């Protein structure tokens, strides 16, 4: 055998090994809704939910429902930061609220993301939807960085370039928009390509996601990570004509149904292309239902967007951050199964690392724990003592086992009573037994001071160490993180 022939054979074997290894890696599709309540998914709230959601219900029937999953925050930006980086957003300069655009990206240039990590493992990566982690716009004529005063209006011109968007953080392809106030500015990759009415965005994102799956099916053997952060049913609540009136509950119910249908179309695209069996699909949302949905009116009609949880978007109560989390992976995840172990959306990063059998990047994903064992029906192995919750105003809570400590006198968000209007004589904090009282109605803070103190000390340690998992201590981006926003 000549040396040339040996080289050809060896090269062919190496290529075959690479192709086989890539084929063993599942595709990952992560769909994240916007302001969708836990109780808006019918199968999660059959008694008090009135909106049909056959798409997500199908996923639950074919996969696993996590009954105790939480977003990293009760509002948008911080949750998305945590999902992408495996790190709580309050470790950054963003201590409350959300970003407004026309500013440098919240994710530091050198910080690994789920997308950049998977890209290194041979994945094609795409985001189709809402970014809301800030980026800058450069004028198409002068290349100068654009600025904008105020939170609304002043769309970036068509042709504006984006130097620090998703493509700078691990994604190969981006199609979508920045946030609700800028939804008319449609972006592809690193450029604003057109302006159009917001009512077209959900159909556009659905169409693009389906088209991406169709395109990826043409190159079998190369796994892909598709992140689809829908901008719905967040306001503006704009169901298209064909969906108007379908729910019988008003525009919000119609928009939820249309969003669910968009997800169902993604599932159908996987089916049609023979990708279902080797694709891990996750469905979730960034926080609870918003007051913009008209929650009191929905409740009068028998629909409770937060199911049995107290509060809604922006709150430190569970209605603000206890989210739907449904996973399907045929042959790996038991159909029709449930898991009551606590997880956070920051856990995607560590899960992807274990899934691909690769170590986490050094100094990254410091608040991420793999939930892969749970998909196999096994206990999650965690060095994290508990999960930290965060409200729109920066109020903290700590969940450890059945206990939840809220460092707030009231909702810490938008639901009455707000902090300023907490009943006179209210304790400085709240403590709940979430197994006995998931609706957070019986404050045990004064009855169990030893439990409250134990949770507080652990939370302080998780904050001060710069990480909540085992490993070398790290630094937060800011030196002073204020725990007691309403005073102590």
pLDDT of residue 436: 98
pLDDT of residue 2: 44
Spatial contact of 31 and 325, defined as CB atoms under 8 Å apart: no
Residue range 345-363: mean pLDDT, rounded: 97
Structure-token pair, residue 68: 């105790």
Q: Among 2-11, 23-32, 183-192, 222-231, name the one with the lowest average pLDDT.
A: 2-11
Place of tokens 């969708």: 36
Residues of the chain within CATH 3.40.720.10 domain(s) are 25-375
Residue range 398-406: mean pLDDT, rounded: 98
pLDDT of residue 149: 60
Q: Binning pLDDT at 50, 70 and 90, where does residue 14 land? A: very low
The mean of the pLDDT values for the chain is 94
- Looking at the chain, the whole-number percentage of residues with pLDDT higher than 70 is 94
The answer, yes or no, to whether residue 446 has pLDDT greater than 60, is yes
Domain 387-464 bears CATH identifier 3.30.1120.10: yes
Spatial contact of 370 and 378, defined as CB atoms under 8 Å apart: no
pLDDT of residue 403: 98
The answer, yes or no, to whether residue 338 has pLDDT greater than 70, is yes
How does DSSP assign 300-327, residue by residue? Answer: HTT--TTTTSS--TT-SSGGGTB--EEE
Q: Among 39-43, 270-274, 417-421, name the one with the lowest average pLDDT.
A: 417-421
The answer, yes or no, to whether residue 116 has pLDDT greater than 70, is yes
Q: Among 121-135, 148-162, 209-223, 293-307, name the one with the lowest average pLDDT.
A: 148-162
Q: Binning pLDDT at 50, 70 and 90, where does residue 127 land? A: very high
Residue range 122-128: mean pLDDT, rounded: 98
Residue range 231-242: mean pLDDT, rounded: 98
Residue range 253-280: mean pLDDT, rounded: 98
Could you report the per-residue pLDDT of 64-105, keeping only the tens digit for each?
A: 999 999 999 999 999 999 999 999 999 999 999 999 999 999
Spatial contact of 308 and 438, defined as CB atoms under 8 Å apart: yes
Q: Binning pLDDT at 50, 70 and 90, where does residue 488 land? A: confident
* pTM for the structure as a whole: 0.94
pLDDT of residue 148: 80
Residues of the chain within CATH 3.30.1120.10 domain(s) are 387-464
Beta strands across the sheet bearing 396-400: 387-390, 396-400, 403-406, 430-433
Instruction: Say how far apart CA 305 and CA 45 lie, in whole Å.
Output: 9
pLDDT of residue 402: 98
Q: Output helix, strand, coil percentages for the chain, rounded to the nearest 5.
A: 30, 15, 55
pLDDT of residue 487: 81
The answer, yes or no, to whether residue 19 has pLDDT greater than 70, is no
The answer, yes or no, to whether residue 24 has pLDDT greater than 90, is no
Question: Positive or negative CA dihedral for 164, 170, 173, 176?
Answer: negative
Residue range 433-458: mean pLDDT, rounded: 98
How does DSSP assign 164-215, residue by residue? Answer: TSGGGGT-SEEEEES-GGGTTEEEETTEEEEE--GGGHHHHHHHHHHHHHHH
Instruction: Say how far apart CA 304 and CA 298 lie, in whole Å.
Output: 7
CATH topology of domain 25-375: Alkaline Phosphatase, subunit A (3.40.720)
């Amino acid at each position: 055998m000549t040396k040339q022939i040996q080289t050809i054979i060896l090269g062919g074997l190496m290529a075959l090994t690479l192709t086989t290894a890539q084929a063993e890696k599942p595709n990952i599709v992560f769909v994240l809704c916007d302001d969708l309540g836990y109780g808006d998914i019918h199968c999660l709230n059959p008694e008090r939910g009135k909106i049909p959601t056959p798409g997500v219900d199908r996923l639950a029937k074919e996969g696993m429902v996590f009954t105790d999953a939480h977003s990293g925050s009760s509002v948008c930006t911080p949750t998305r930061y945590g999902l992408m980086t495996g790190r709580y957003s309050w470790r950054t300069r963003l201590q409350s609220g959300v970003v407004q655009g026309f500013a440098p990206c919240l994710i530091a240039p050198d910080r690994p993301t789920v997308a950049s990590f998977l890209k290194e493992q041979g994945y094609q990566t795409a985001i189709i939807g809402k970014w809301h982690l800030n980026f800058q716009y450069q004028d198409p004529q002068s290349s100068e960085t654009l600025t904008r005063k105020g939170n609304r209006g002043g769309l970036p011109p068509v042709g504006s370039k984006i130097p620090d968007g998703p493509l700078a953080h691990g994604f190969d392809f981006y199609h979508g928009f920045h946030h609700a106030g800028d939804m008319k500015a449609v972006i592809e990759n690193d450029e604003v390509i057109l302006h159009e009415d917001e009512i077209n965005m959900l159909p556009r994102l659905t169409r693009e996601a389906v088209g991406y799956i169709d395109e990826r099916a043409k190159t079998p053997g190369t796994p892909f990570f598709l992140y689809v952060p829908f901008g719905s049913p967040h306001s503006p609540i704009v169901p298209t004509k064909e969906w108007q009136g379908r729910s019988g509950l008003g525009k919000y119910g119609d928009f939820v149904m249309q969003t669910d249908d968009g997800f169902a179309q993604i599932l159908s695209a996987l089916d049609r292309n023979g990708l279902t069996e080797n694709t891990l699909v996750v469905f979730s949302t960034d926080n609870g239902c918003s007051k913009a949905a008209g929650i009191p009116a929905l409740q009068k009609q028998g629909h409770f967007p937060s199911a049995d949880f107290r509060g809604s978007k922006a709150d430190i109560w569970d209605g603000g951050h206890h989210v739907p989390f449904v996973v399907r992976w045929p042959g790996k995840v038991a159909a029709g199964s449930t898991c009551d172990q606590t997880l956070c959306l920051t856990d995607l990063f560590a899960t992807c690392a274990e899934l691909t059998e690769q170590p986490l990047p050094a100094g990254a994903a410091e608040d991420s724990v793999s939930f892969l064992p749970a998909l196999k029906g096994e206990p999650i192995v965690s060095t994290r003592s508990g999960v930290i919750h965060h409200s729109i105003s920066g109020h903290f809570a700590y969940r450890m086992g059945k206990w939840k400590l809220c460092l707030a006198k009231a909702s810490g968000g938008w639901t009455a009573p707000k902090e300023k209007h907490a009943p006179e004589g209210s304790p400085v904090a709240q403590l709940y037994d979430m197994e006995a009282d998931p609706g957070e109605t019986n404050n045990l803070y004064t009855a169990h001071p030893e439990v409250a103190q134990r949770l507080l000390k652990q939370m302080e340690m998780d904050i001060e160490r710069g990480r909540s998992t085992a490993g070398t201590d790290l630094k937060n981006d800011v030196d002073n993180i204020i725990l007691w926003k309403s005073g102590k």
